[in-house]
């Protein structure tokens, strides 16, 4: 075997060893991620597990009957769950940008209905940065207004994000209590 063949063989072996190492590392990382998810689920409060089940049920019904076909309690749940998720993920800007922003006006009433008065005022204030004091229900119209918001309105939204993140009210607890109180209005629960 000549020197060139030996070098080629060494390179091939090195590539194989690196590939095996990377595959093993990916497997280890996947296993660590699986364990982390399992641990998080095991340690998740029962109230949150319950609300996640309700969420699955409400979203499944939403696909079948549309928003108007949901019960009042399901609409409240949907508005609270989606606004909280969107704002926590990317602020009010993200909430208004995405299709869940179609329900920004209903969200005010939903948070009021679960007893989250401070959060209701934050949402009401966020809605007020739009022309006519409320975001358009139509996604395209809302996008147009979002892109044209003055800098002061954008700063207001960022300030309101921070107010929302303070969590002066326990939204999970309030939503859980609302669902328990109105359990009969959740047909698939």
Q: Which two tokens stand for residue 72?
A: 């009042």
Looking at residue 43, its pLDDT comes to 73
Whether 40 and 166 have beta carbons less than 8 Å apart is answered as: no
- Shortest CA distance to 60 belongs to which of 49, 70, 46? 70
Q: Is the model's pLDDT at 188 over the cut of 80?
A: no
Distance, CA of 87 to CA of 95 (rounded, Å): 6
Looking at residue 2, its pLDDT comes to 58
Looking at residue 127, its pLDDT comes to 97
Looking at residue 99, its pLDDT comes to 93
The count of C-alpha atoms lying within 13 angstroms of the C-alpha of 177, restricted to the half-sphere facing its C-beta, is 10
The model's confidence at residue 29, banded by pLDDT at 50, 70 and 90, is: confident
DSSP SS3 for 150? coil
Q: Is the model's pLDDT at 7 over the cut of 90?
A: no
Q: Which long-range contacts (CB under 8 A, 24 or more apart) does 56-61 make?
A: 57/186, 57/188, 57/189, 58/186, 58/188, 60/188, 61/187, 61/188
98: left (phi over 0), alpha (psi -120 to 50) or beta: beta
Whether 94 and 86 have beta carbons less than 8 Å apart is answered as: yes
Mean pLDDT of 138-165: 95
Mean pLDDT of 146-160: 96
* Alpha carbon distances (Å) from 131 to 134, 135, 145: 7, 7, 8
Provide φ and ψ at 95, rounded to 5°: -55, -50
The model's confidence at residue 183, banded by pLDDT at 50, 70 and 90, is: very high
Whether 73 and 179 have beta carbons less than 8 Å apart is answered as: yes
Q: Which two tokens stand for residue 102?
A: 């179609």
Looking at residue 45, its pLDDT comes to 82
Q: Which two tokens stand for residue 54?
A: 């309700």
Name residues whose C-beta falls within 8 Å of residue 60's C-beta, 6 or more positions apart in sequence.
188
Q: Where are the domains of the chain?
A: 1-43, 46-185
pTM, two decimal places: 0.78
| pLDDT tens column, 41-85 | 677 788 888 999 999 999 999 999 999 999 999 999 999 999 999
Looking at residue 163, its pLDDT comes to 97
| pLDDT tens column, 92-143 | 999 999 999 999 999 999 999 999 999 999 999 999 999 888 999 999 999 9
Distance, CA of 189 to CA of 182 (rounded, Å): 11
């Amino acid at each position: 075997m000549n020197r060139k063949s030996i070098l080629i063989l060494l390179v091939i072996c090195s590539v194989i060893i690196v590939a095996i190492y990377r595959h093993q590392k990916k497997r280890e990382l996947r296993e660590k991620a699986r364990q982390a998810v399992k641990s998080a689920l095991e340690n998740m409060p029962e109230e949150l597990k319950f609300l996640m089940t309700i969420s699955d049920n409400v979203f499944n019904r939403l696909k079948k009957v549309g928003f108007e076909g949901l019960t009042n309690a399901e609409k409240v749940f949907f508005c609270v769950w989606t606004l909280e998720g969107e704002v926590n993920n990317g602020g009010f800007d993200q909430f208004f940008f995405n299709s869940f922003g179609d329900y920004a006006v209903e969200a005010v009433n939903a948070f009021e209905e679960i007893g989250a008065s401070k959060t209701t005022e934050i949402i009401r204030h966020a809605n007020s940065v739009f022309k006519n004091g409320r975001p358009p229900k139509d996604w395209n119209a809302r996008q147009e207004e979002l892109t044209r918001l003055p800098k002061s309105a954008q700063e207001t939204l960022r300030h309101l994000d921070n107010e929302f993140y303070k969590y002066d009210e326990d939204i999970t607890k309030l939503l859980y209590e609302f669902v328990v109180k109105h359990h009969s209005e959740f047909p698939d629960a």
